Structure 1
Amino acid sequence: MKQLFRIATNRFTLDWHRVRESDHAVLAQSMPVMGRLRLVPHDDGLLWRDLMMRSGVPDALAADASDPNGPPLYEQTEYQIYLRGANDGDRVELRHRDPVITRALNSQENGRVVHGSVNFRGQIGRSLFSIYVNGNRTLDFEVEVFPTKIDYESDYQDIVADVQSILTNLAYEYLRSTHQMGKLSSDRPPSKLEWLVLIEQIIDELDVAMNHIAQRPSRGLVRRERTTRLERIRRVDSRVRSQVRRGQGKGSLVRLGGISVREQIVERPAELTLDTMEHRWLRNQLVDVQRTLGQIASIYDSEAELSSRRRQTSDGITRLKIRVSRLLNLEPIREADGNPPMGFASLQLVSAPGYREAYRLLMFLKMGLRLEGDLIQLAVKDLEVLYEYWTYLTVVRIIQDEHGPPQNLDALFRVRSSGLSVQLKQGETQQVAFSTGKHRTIRVKYNPQFSDQDKTLIPQKPDILIRFEQDGWPIIQLVADAKYRIDATDKYRQQFKSFGPPADAINVLHRYRDAILELDQTASDVPGLQRSVVQAAALFPMNLTPDADFRDSRLWQSLERLGVGAIPVLPSNTAFLKGWLLSAVRQGGWSMADRAIANSADVRSRDWRVAGSEAVLIGTLRSPGTQEHLDWVVSERLYYHPYAKTQPRQHHVKQVAIYTPASLGNPGIRLVADVRSFDFVERSEITTPWPARRNEMMVLYRLSPIRPMDRDIEFTAQDYMPPQGRWTTRLGLERARSVSEVALETEPEWRLLEWLLATKKPFSIRLDSARIQDAENPKGRAWFHFESGDKVRFDGMNGFLWRPAEGNGGYFSLKDLIQHQGTWS
């Protein structure tokens, strides 16, 4: 545990420690930073002691309260705090605007000691704490929290600026442990969040200005008609003269200087009043403030339970409403009645003491905010949220630079509000689409959720999805997950040859790749669910240049090899992300499909389906002279077979396998060759060391070099090999373990065989004679016989033909057939 600073006074002592030693700024690759420790005393009797210290600051300056330098604090770091009152009986408190940051602090010894941990998590910027002694605010101290993985002055500011460029509110939160300094902006009206930040910032100054007005109000003159006795009239104006001449007024006539005048006439004397246009304007503005506060408060009034932050926000709004109500009850504002003219302004309102300050502050509430400058304190979203927003915007911009503006640019600006918080809208509606040609569209989606129960068991929600839609191809997708976490341990670097996101973040990408499924509508047969994600990358904040050794890391190389990897991305380093995206954007369906990691079972299944369509001839050898015949076949690479008009397979033979009888050792099928060509010739035209028995039409196959089978097919006691050979398919030849299994020529037959073997059902195989096969509807000729006397044969499009030992059978699919198998054994 390392001590970072100590504040020692005659009222209290505060010690601030870092729990674990580490070089926090090593990943940011920035210049060494100087932290902040600004001290603001609120007690005139506060004295500094010699025990003051600040890590990294010379001892001579550590005790100087006017020096704002201090040790830097970092995100995602645990700090230990110990605050103790200097005198027995003193109660001390450590307060912060954000209740979350102080919730791990405990009070002991009747309030004399406060201790516990503080962790700023992903919040970056300045943070203000207040120390109270016996309920009185004694000292404020401000620290500054720096990022550990990115450069504070460049990358962090660029991320905030990019997010602000889409919508300023995306970067803000109302209540956080840290803040950045900002300024006013007149280019747009404020949101409720910005408005609340502003009213909170100006309320103290507004209070002072309005109290000054109440103490020294500027009154106006007003003339009101009233009936007055003649002797009380002090000023004779034209209106009074006119009434005298015309004999108007009330009461009896009296003589006055030879003129008859009524005893009472109407006059309009000038009177001082507080009901001025300036006061009316101020009242209207304060009423608007109170109304807006009420609208914001209603957001929280509707919630039954509030988190500590939302409760603190609600309480703060209530306090603001009380203060504004008090301002509305000040005499000049209370006396104002009515509305000022539209667009009212006066020299007094913009220049008189008190008025000009109130006018300026209330006008601030009509302006927006920007995260630059040094006027307003703004709470910013956690860095991991900002990084996620920024990576999404960066992906969109890279594709936009390649293909022009998206078709629905407004979708990029869709947001949702939760109280005073504004976030990018998530899900299917938050997407931008780019047209890359007449038949191809690229969509970039933010936080889409895959929750269709027919497609996934557990909902999946990647950060960014890049979706490629092209005619003739199924949906192809890339996943990018923003991970503002880095594993910088030596073990990790040795394993992956680079720093990068934690292993659990990589595992999530494997899950996305396998769990995100799409219904393939392009399939020629029944559409089915298929994996659509060909590559998934974790985007992490690290400043690695393209010429660095990251290209040699497993994180980068595994993207192409395994389809899962990681990419460093920061405002100063987007080259790797751009290269990865453009390599996909500039490719078509074939090249994108090459990126997909094939499932071994799918590949084998497709291969066996193809194998089930390729005819194979199981050739036999003449007897006697078996060895001589075999030697001739091997040396001449020829094999002939009687031509049969009823067997069209002879025209489509892909391979010839050789059955060796018992006379050559163990009987079985051990040799095979590919057919290169064939001819129809008479037997007399084929030159062999043995004479022809009869002259007939033959099919002469020219073969590739004879080679041993990958696996011998043994002859068992139950097997039978006809003298003229046997027909099968490459599927039957490659999968068969015995000669009888060679006759299983179709995929459904092999599916049934696998199920029987897996469930250990006793059976035997018996064959019908070879028949003409319909290429569009191949049928099996192998009967599966069971101990019960039942038997089953695959009958093409009809399904499986089931013939029970007793009663009538029928046709079944394999699934239904399995359900009816209870009587087979």
Structure 2
Amino acid sequence: MAVKKIDLITIKNDKFSLNIKGKPLHPDHEKKFPEKNKAQASYSFSSSLEKRLDFKYHDPEIDQLKLSQSNSIKSFPLFFEYQNYDFHIEAEEPIELYHPNREIRESLSHPNDKPNVLYGSINFGSDIGYSEFEIRSNSQVILTLKLEVFPSKIDYQQDYNQLLEEVNKEVYNLAYDFLRKTYQEMKISEKQNITEAEFFTIIENIFEDLFKALKRIEESPHHQIIRKRNVKPASRVKKVGRQSLKWLNKNSRHYDQDLKLPEKMLAVEKKLSYDNFENKFIKWSFSELIKRLKHFKVNYSKAKTNPDQNLLNEIDKMIRKLKLKLKHSFLAEVGELQKIDSISLVLQMAPGYKELYKYYLMLLKGLSLNGDIFRLSIKQLWQLYEYWTFLKLNSLLQDKYKMIKNNIIDLDYSGINVTLSQGAAAEVEYQNPITGEKFTLSYNRSSGDGITTNQKPDNILSLSKNDSEHQYKFIFDAKYRLNTAEEGTRYGDRYEGIPGPEESDINTMHRYRDAVAAEMGEDYRRTMVGAYVLFPYRDQEKRFKEHKFYQSIEQVNIGAFPFLPGSTELLADFLENIIDESAQSNFDRNLMPAAADEFRPQPEFKVDLLLGSLRSKKQFEYLLDNNLYYLPLQQSVLNHNLEYVAIFQSKTKFGKQSGVRYYGRIKNKKIVKREEIDFPSSSRSTDQNYLLFEVESWQQLGKKIKSEGYGVSGSHIYSNLMLLKKADTLPELSIRSLKEWRLWLELKRLKEDIKLQLKNDNLDQIQKIEGFRAGKAKIKLKEDILQVELKENQLEFSYSEFIQNPRAVLNKIMGLINDSSQH
């Protein structure tokens, strides 16, 4: 049964009445207050009417209107975001409603052209905080009403205020908006109200920094070169140029024909000018600051019967210092500022100027607002939550990774509102300090190459891996929506009463992942690995692990994470996993088509490459020039289906150039006598059979494979092309199975001192690797069991457990190693 609207607040006497109707319910829980929530909202009014007004408000505990004994109360929240509230106001005289927000002003009108009645429905949308209404009659305010609007999906006192604090901490002023439906009483300290003394507290804290910034500007002020043209006696003109001669030709009367000399000449002089917009802006802001300090001093002196002389002296000192800079610096040559058309890049980015502009923005809020408190509108909660998610994601990444590029703040031209830039410019670049890999987090960037329709998710994490040519992209989309899974609802029954994101938002993630594609060669490929909803949910973060939309992340890489101040652990762990794991693990997160196993060939760990040694540098040059490689004929070589050959350059012969740098595809192979090879031989038996490989062309690897103290003592070793392209060191070419290689991929990303364990330094004598070593820990793979041995401790994991979550397994291994090293 639908709940009817009831009276929430009434203020009336026999000549005036104000009535607000609405549902007495929390809009998401559909329950009456109070229950567990003991939040307190503020309601107050002031009136210039002579007769007392009765102030009543709905009390959910008694489920009826309650008479207040004062004009200001704190009670259970009655007003929430996205709800309609009916206002009915009636008076003896004609009345009008004033509110700073135009939409609210226009929501009420005079029914049946009755000037003394106002009626309409007001919806605060996603604006949270205080909202103040003025009822005016004959241009005079007869009543002022202040309400507090609460969020419905997050805790107001805890989550909302912390969210505001964290946004402003990352980017000053980002949370602020202008003339919205609600406002917040801003404060610097814990005091209830802002007085004029707060202004002095702000300027006192930043005053020295203000002059440090100006000092940086004085070292190199923004300037321009101007040309000044003056006609002077010829003897005073220092430099005669083409313009001077041209002027003289047109003004020949100034040329003395008898003396054959000019009497006057045009002088073109270059002059350095500081008279530009940026310097005018600084001069203007300093002048305004002097006015405000004088005003503060007068008000302070009036308010105190015995004012503090030290404080007055400090104010005078500040004023003198500001005046001194205006008179005895480059600012003295600067003209007056007429208007502010736009904020230039110099003010936003140049050293000194950007700091002064930041302080100007801080002081602007105090300078432009009157009264005992600063009243600033806050961005709509859905937008604020969207901003917070991007900033918090960056904060989580900065805890572990190095930020190398940051471009997230964009100021609008009015200088009033600060927003996050969007698209290609809104990107923060990081680097993994262990692997050196770079990755980016972008905000509100269009994706999809316009194949069908562009998609614009909130946040895209693009990972680049050393062992892959492609990027692996993950979407994190902020959705300020929460289904509380109430008992008896379809959602509650289906998801066992665990609150979570709306199903429609999960469906959007499917669309994002599947719709974003890029052109690769002649066809198109999906570029997004996974997509996840970030939604506002705090309570029992661990319980959400039981939700279907969390478990689906592991199954199909679509799902959700609770994300609020104090509820970031699940997402932080996931970010660490996908960034630290190998490209292979990132790739394995992709959801394959149903017929993938039938039509996609399984990767084979076959021997298809021969890595051969050399006898001399001249032989190396001969092989490269002639696109071939040869070695004494051995039946074992013919037993392998070789497709590639690579060259090993030993430390003794090549020094710093040692390692593996060149490989090539085998075009042809044939058996020849040694004497048929046109390169001198130290052997006397020239009729010996050799195997000759003709190579299509020698290719250079993207990075050299280091020998790391190992070598090829015989003529060759076997490996495969995949290992050759992905290996960093020579021992890695001895890996003989896909499982070993996959384990090695993840292990070598953890620590630099992780090595392969081999029986012999000569790789031609190696049939298989013994395992891996990290410090004193031995790591072995026996069939489908991963074993870790360290002194008397031993851990075992199934290989399938490792593949399912490699980072979790490796973190346990590293925990054992770290604990041992500490003891």
TM-score, normalisation: structure 1: 0.49
Structure with larger Rg: 1
TM-score, normalisation: structure 2: 0.49
